[in-house]
Chain A
Amino acid sequence: MRYLISLIPVLPLAGFLILAFVGKRLNKVSAGVIACGTVFSAFILSLIVFMNANGNPTFENGMTITLFDWISVGSFRATFSFLIDPLSLVFLLVITGVGFLIHLYSVGYMKEDEGYNRYFSYLNLFIFFMTLLVLGNNFLLMFVGWEGVGFCSYLLIGFWFKNSAYNDAAVKAFVMNRIGDLGFLLGIILIFITFGSIEYASVFAQAGQMQPGGFVIIAITLLLFLGAIGKSAQIPLYTWLPDAMAGPTPVSALIHAATMVTAGIYMIARTNILYTMAPLTLQIIAGIGIATALLGATIGLVQNDIKKVLAYSTVSQLGLMFLALGVGAYNAAVFHVVTHAFFKALLFLGAGSVIHALHGEQDIRRMGGLRKLMPVTWLAFLIASIAISGIPPFAGFFSKDEILMHVYASNPMLWVLAVLCSVLTAFYVFRLFFLTFSGEYRGDPATIGHLHKTPMSMSGPLIVLAVLSAVGGLIGIPELFSGGNLLGQFLSPVFGQSALHLHLPALSHEVEYVLIGISVVVALLAVLFAMYLYAYRKEVSVTESSALRPVHNFVYHKYYVDELYQTLITKPLQWLGDKTYRILELKVVDGVVEWIGRFVVMCGKSLRLIQNGESGIYLLAMVVAIIVLIVTANF
């Protein structure tokens, strides 16, 4: 079993190495087989482990496999060790499972691309780092995966490296992640200083004994949360994610929707006990979460790029997950991560099929009426849209519902906002759906004639994911519907310690029914409204209506946050660098040095004038010196 677990990350790594070193000599088929095969094997292994793990007490408490010592200095010890417990297993399954599907999808999607092998090597590397992230048994190893996936994301966003804008987006993503990473890193250091260890087991055991709300624990959690903000695209570090859509669409599906961006949720879920001990941080997380959720949703309302809409949707959904974390519903957050992985990946892949079919067209204003032309995609997209809108009995309903319940229990005002958010979500998703598939085709007629066929490798994953999106919610059917909440029970050992401290207020069933009713009804209303507005449109104007134009513009331009950052941070930094160099460095710091040099030479130049060649002056100077000498010595 131990070897099997170790193999899970090793397999994608092996795939990466093979592709990296002999990639040039491999044809596309074998490259695709290697890439998909390794990830699939990893998925199978994860399944095997999962089978063994279910109900096995050693797994519930976490099973550690140590490979080798990585960094050890004095009492500090960071090992290359894997921890298998319910949480990591859940994530592992999602990563390898969805990962495999997306690999498969990519085989078709990237077929024509010259960087095919390179693409798969990056993708494999990503899976490696992602599994490392969730498998690590200490913070530093998590950080390894954390930075590693960030780096892979950098590579894949800038995959088409000839395009400067894409490269800019890649750098932006990496740097923004790095800002968060610095917080994470400092958090790890503070953890080590506080607890004397960075291994989960030892840290959590000690953290449980601590006084809740202590300054240090708040500092630690805030620093870690900073990392999560960067990785999971929360306010204020979310702007990279929409730009990251520059990468190939499967990459957006895998990295920027299903897996990497949820690493922040994983991290907080993993360290839940620390956060439980820091109520203040939890409140901050909830605040940022709901704010991000609303922000993403509103921007998503008016975007016209199919991938941008989905990107903001992701931002918004991630905000929702953080909201869940913020109210202590770790379980619900993880649940939503899983379902979100299904339906968001599906949405992206569906969008990918559309883009693929339309030769790279991404503007929904120039789509429409694709239902007949791409029925599979249409269906998959529809299922995903329903799922994300939270309409029962699809996957999104259960997870979102669980979140809303907890939010209400914690703070009804937040609940109102969250429901608003889900209404907006339903609206923009269906706006997207209707504009894309319903009505009539509004784009270039030439394209429609040469529609790319969606190959099996692409539609296969779509179907699988559609099924998952439809029924995925079953893993977490709440008590209310006499489900066992399988996921919740499975994860309970991980959150057990927190549960002791958190004391989540329980809602009566009546209240729950009412709440569910309200949220479902408003979501349905939103869908209908979207249908009314967009389903049969022939033309889509740039603006909605004149009265709303300024607001629309404002939202359409993403609240000008990018521009704000540009003016407040990027430009000043550039300016600062330039001025520091030109003025401070060259004129002041170096100037002083040069000035000293010149001063010395000037001294030499002027002093030598005393030596004017006339003996009379020399003698006079000597006599004066003698006089001075005698006078100072005697008087």
Chain B
Amino acid sequence: MSVAIERIGFDVERIRADFPILAERVHGRKLVFLDSAASAQKPRAVIDAMVRTMETRYANVHRGLHWMSERCSDDYEGARDKVAAFLNAAREEIVFVRNATEAINLVAHSYGRTVLQPGDAVVVSEMEHHANLVPWQMLRDSHGIELRIAKITEAGELDFHDLERNFADGRVRLLAITHMSNVLGTYTPVERLAAFAHAYGARILLDGAQAAVHRAVDVRAIDADFYVFSGHKLYGPSGIGVLYGKRELLEAMPPFLGGGDMIRSVSYEKSSWAEPPYRFEAGTPAIIETIGLGAAIDYVNAIGFEAIAAHERSLTDHALAVLSDIDGLHVLGRAQDRGGVVAFTLDGVHAHDVATLLDKQGIAVRAGHHCAEPLTRRLGQDSTARASFGVYTTHGEIDALVSGLRRVKQVFG
């Protein structure tokens, strides 16, 4: 594996040098940051793009006739072009929101309350993040749709038989499903799922909050109707996320939030709406953050997803191998196709104690239900510990995790 990585020129030490925070020490130890799935660290290029905007090219966008506003609007709209290219979409199909959560809520409100009718069904899976479950529960309770939960197999993959059962009565109008589970690491077969949903006359929304960080995403090749992700997990700033929607879907959708910038014309009596994507961007947008996201996309593109995916596969394989050597450690999920996220339990030690004791050694992992409480319970747990990897993660850090866990076991001995 490492040969393959070298071949495509992946130099993890050079990458690490791009992330200032990785030089920090925690409790006197070198920081080993294994919590990138919650939010990734930011490279110098992203920080610089934001600083440059604030220091040299900042003003409110779109309506300004002066130099600063024009330059800042160019940068902001330039980021939209970058995101469009990143997903292989058209720029009119890219709506900027705060995060993946807001993107799903936007679809639930705007598409959900107009195209979906009371009695129609929405299907999600057992392995959704709360962001792709709670908005549909809220839509169910306010709008009378039915919400169905497609099962996963014991391996932690989607159960296609159960999916078929859920679709059998022809009432499903939307399949809203993760592209990669933030607990099990499972990738879902999105092309197949899109074809499946479309064959039943349903639309598909993909929660790419995790997947978009690790793999090249081509919404046209997938034939996704909606795709969402968050900037902060993709080495970009917080406060910026993306909703992709097929042009004809966005065009037919009413606005979600009302205010400046999303209108065509306003009178006291009545307003008419701008075209997508502006129809869905009310008020002053997250200008600096959007430009930062553009820089993040440039950054990952410069490394290249082939290299990123190979690096993360190698890390994950290594982690699964060395963690399985620890007595009493159980990894959740054993999907064939999985990404750089490993959740586990340790017999006799609560996940919180694992996380705290690792932190004392400078190792940052997450513990809890990872905003997937029903899945965690479905797996028979209250909470689990989770290590997750980014472009800057090294094999040595995974070995540090293993030593750290042995130390935890000693304390609990």
A is bound by B:
no
Q: Interface of B with A (CB < 8 Å)?
A: none
